[in-house]
Chains A and B, each alone.
Chain A
Amino acid sequence: MSAADTHATEPVTGGRPQLPSPLTTRPAAKRTGRAAGRSRQSRSLPYLLIAPALVVMIGVLGYPLVDTIVLSFQDERRNNLWNGVAAPWVGFDQYTSILGDSEFWTVVVRTVVFVIVCVVGTMAAGLLIALLMQRVSNWVRVTMSSVMIAVWAMPLLVATSVFKFMFDSDYGLVNQLLTRLPGVDYTRHNWFLNPTTGMGIIALLVIWGAIPFIAISLHAALTQVPKELEEAARIDGAKGFGIFRYVTFPIIKPVFIMTSTLSVIWDFGVLGQILLMRNGQPEQDYQLLGLYSYTQAFTVNSFSRGAAISVVTVLLLSGIAVYYLRQLLKIGEVE
């Protein structure tokens, strides 16, 4: 919806007398009003409409955000909640303590590696499946998307429980299947003793759970690529991958970028999967930023330290966030 659209629809609404205010500030739809009174009412209408949403968003999302920042400059602990004593201000102490802590940096590096693995895995698998969905017969596509939706609809903790069972050291199917291979003995192999394989399984779980959204979104985008374009490229002599690279991909690129930035943001927030896989008490080697902040706040009981870690996480993410935002706004303008 652009200003041009507004003007284009002008004749449709009929040449009724208009108020001498700038045309672009009010939509054409409202200028059908018979009297100036209606017009004044409709000028405040959008604000009335957004008011409840604004109140809720500022109250439940905006305020806590500001509060997180405030908290990170204080030293609020659990007993401050109960005895009513205001938390003391400590300036940048939380930040200097966090940033000077090598443990924190280990967690940051681990999180970044984890996110890269998960996002690359999800996007590659999602794109390949989306392309495959275009090439299969109708009944296969329906089967594929039904399974995807079943996976998609699985609650996070449910999916985690299933993976936990499949990789169980005693009764897990994976160990038993691997043991059947000649010369391999995985009986009672504990995948989580080694944090690398443990994190690998968690990454697999994250990727598996995220594939449906990515594949279905990309498939939807692919269906909007005009067949004629691909055919024209083929007539001009382009081969399979060339067509994809120069014709198909540029068209689905906005959706691809949006879904991958979303994946980055989501994977940064991975928490519950680890918590459940490690029976509620993840070892130090399993800490990712989101979990680390949670542990500091609710297990170590330093809310301020947890808040400061959150702020650092948000700052780390902000570069990606800005990029995502620009993409979205670009798409918003096209429409």
Chain B
Amino acid sequence: MSTAVKSGPAATDSAGVTYRTPKKNRSGWNVLGIVVTVLMGFPVYWMIITALRPSQEILSYHQKLYPSSVTFSQFKRAMDMPNFWDNVKSSVIISAFSVVIAIGIGLLAAYAIGRFKFWGRRGLIIALLVIQLIPATSMLIPIYIQLNKMGGLNEYWGVIVVYAASTLPFAVWMLRGFIVNIPKELEESAMVDGCSQMTAFRRVVLPLLAPGLVAASIYALMTAWNEYLFAYVILQDNDKYTLSIWLLKFTGQRGTDYGALMAGSILIALPVVIFFLFVQRKVASGLTAGAVKG
């Protein structure tokens, strides 16, 4: 039915789906499901408890599966690392701008592709798909050289432009999937009632597109927040690095400070996980279905 649901990160989960299967004995499957959950979730659990336990338990030859006491000292040490707040600022600025740019530009293009037939449409779609297939690392070298010429090295805008551009193709593709699934009749009836195409878009399509926009934004946000390679190559000052690069500081020549590293990791992952969990349901809610029937 919808490509967006299949390819979009957030839209894919179907927590809201109800099953009409007859009552069956599911306990065997449930046990298996729990085992899988434990195995998949264990590294996450290990990260969390390592961050919460005292240092002497971390550097121990007798690791326990649960902490004997809970302390936030690892978090404190992580946040006391030099440049933590500078790098939070870098990450926020870079992610926010690249998401807004990618989604803004992407929405326009997705609407054109999803609703209009125009010369070059197919070519554009193919270009969008082809670009996604090229490993980002292969563009690293020329982008580095080009930004060097344009004075974009060690500047936020250099990274923002790269992130916005690299998330754009998939964002367009995702949004197009959502737009195609919004019945055209809704827009058409608005236009019969006297709206212009653009007004119909703003008043009718945009509100229905909210889940799609959220899904595409999550995708762009996660990409920008988690990216490290371009940030590492383009940015050069300690106070301009993003949080992903900041993580590298915990590994020194004399070994790795695992407690602070795990605490730092949580600090970085937390905003994304919370955001993801929070908007997940919104994405899954079938807004369009109601709009057509109602």
What are the residues of chain B within 8 A of A211 when measuring CB–CB? 40
Binary interface profile of B, 7-40, with partner A (CB < 8 Å = 1, else 0)? 1010111110101110000100110111011001
Closest to B251 in A: A279
A-B contact pairs, 7 of them (CB 8 A): A46-B116, A52-B109, A53-B109, A140-B33, A144-B40, A165-B262, A310-B135
Cβ of A168 under 8 Å from chain B:
yes
A159 to B265, CA, bound (A): 8
Say which one of A92-100, A170-178, A189-197, A242-250 lies at the interface with B: A170-178
Q: A157-B247, A297-B140 known; A149 and B165 CB under 8 Å?
A: no
Q: A67-B145, A137-B26, A219-B14 known; A335 and B46 CB under 8 Å?
A: no
A216 to chain B, nearest CB (A): 4
What are the residues of chain A within 8 A of B248 when measuring CB–CB? 157, 276, 280
A60 touches B46 (CB 8 A): no
Cβ of B133 under 8 Å from chain A:
yes
B203 to chain A, nearest CB (A): 15
What are the residues of chain B within 8 A of A57 when measuring CB–CB? 127-128, 131, 165, 168-169
Cβ of B83 under 8 Å from chain A:
no
What are the residues of chain B within 8 A of A201 when measuring CB–CB? none
Give residues 11-33 of A contacting B (CB, 8 Å): 12-14, 24-30, 32
Say which one of A101-109, A116-124, A233-241, A311-319 lies at the interface with B: A311-319
B106 touches A290 (CB 8 A): no
A66 to B33, CA, bound (A): 48
Cβ of B206 under 8 Å from chain A:
no
A329 to B123, CA, bound (A): 11
Give residues 70-122 of B contacting A (CB, 8 Å): 101, 105-106, 108-109, 111-119, 121
A142 to B34, CA, bound (A): 11
A317 touches B126 (CB 8 A): no
What are the residues of chain A within 8 A of B138 when measuring CB–CB? 65, 68, 293, 307, 310-311, 313-314
B15 touches A208 (CB 8 A): no
What are the residues of chain B within 8 A of A151 when measuring CB–CB? 40-41, 43-44
B137 touches A310 (CB 8 A): yes
Cβ of A1 under 8 Å from chain B:
yes
A182 to B58, CA, bound (A): 24
What are the residues of chain A within 8 A of B169 when measuring CB–CB? 57, 61
B142 touches A161 (CB 8 A): no
A142 touches B108 (CB 8 A): no
A314 touches B135 (CB 8 A): yes
A137 touches B30 (CB 8 A): yes
What are the residues of chain B within 8 A of A26 when measuring CB–CB? 116-117
A59 to B152, CA, bound (A): 14
The DSSP consensus for interface residues of chain B is: helix
What are the residues of chain A within 8 A of B214 when measuring CB–CB? none
B33 touches A141 (CB 8 A): yes
Interface size on B, residues (CB 8 A): 116
The interface of chain B, by Cβ under 8 A from chain A, is 1-3, 5-7, 9, 11-15, 17, 19-21, 26, 29-30, 32-34, 36-37, 40-41, 43-44, 46-47, 50, 58-63, 101, 105-106, 108-109, 111-119, 121, 124-131, 133-146, 148, 161-162, 164-166, 168-169, 172, 180, 184-185, 187-189, 191-192, 196-197, 222, 225-226, 228-229, 233, 244, 247-248, 250-251, 256, 258, 261-262, 265, 268-269, 272-273, 276-277, 280
What are the residues of chain A within 8 A of B196 when measuring CB–CB? 38
Cβ of A113 under 8 Å from chain B:
no
A287 to B187, CA, bound (A): 53
A313 touches B135 (CB 8 A): yes
Q: A53-B109, A76-B145, A137-B30 known; A154 and B44 CB under 8 Å?
A: yes
The DSSP consensus for interface residues of chain A is: helix
B62 to chain A, nearest CB (A): 7
Among A32, A162, A297, the most chain B Cβ lie within 10 Å of the Cβ of: A162
Q: A29-B197, A314-B138 known; A155 and B43 CB under 8 Å?
A: no
A220 to B13, CA, bound (A): 6
Among A63, A157, A317, the most chain B Cβ lie within 10 Å of the Cβ of: A157
Interface size on A, residues (CB 8 A): 124
Contact of A217 among B6, B61, B101 (CB under 8 A): B6
B43 touches A166 (CB 8 A): yes
Q: A151-B44, A303-B141 known; A165 and B50 CB under 8 Å?
A: yes
B46 touches A165 (CB 8 A): yes
What are the residues of chain A within 8 A of B269 when measuring CB–CB? 153-155, 158
Among A29, A158, A227, the most chain B Cβ lie within 10 Å of the Cβ of: A158
A212 to B126, CA, bound (A): 27
A313 to B141, CA, bound (A): 14
What are the residues of chain A within 8 A of B145 when measuring CB–CB? 67, 71, 76, 81, 303
Cβ of A332 under 8 Å from chain B:
yes
A162 to B268, CA, bound (A): 13
Instruction: Taking A71-B145, A170-B59, A307-B138 as given, write out 9 further A-B residue pairs in contact, using a Cβ cutoff of 8 Å, ordered by the A residue number.
Output: A9-B184, A65-B139, A132-B32, A140-B30, A140-B34, A176-B61, A212-B40, A269-B137, A317-B133
A167 to B59, CA, bound (A): 13
A173 to B258, CA, bound (A): 12
A305 to B183, CA, bound (A): 51
A156 to B14, CA, bound (A): 25
Cβ of A324 under 8 Å from chain B:
yes
Q: A162-B47, A163-B43 known; A332 and B108 CB under 8 Å?
A: no
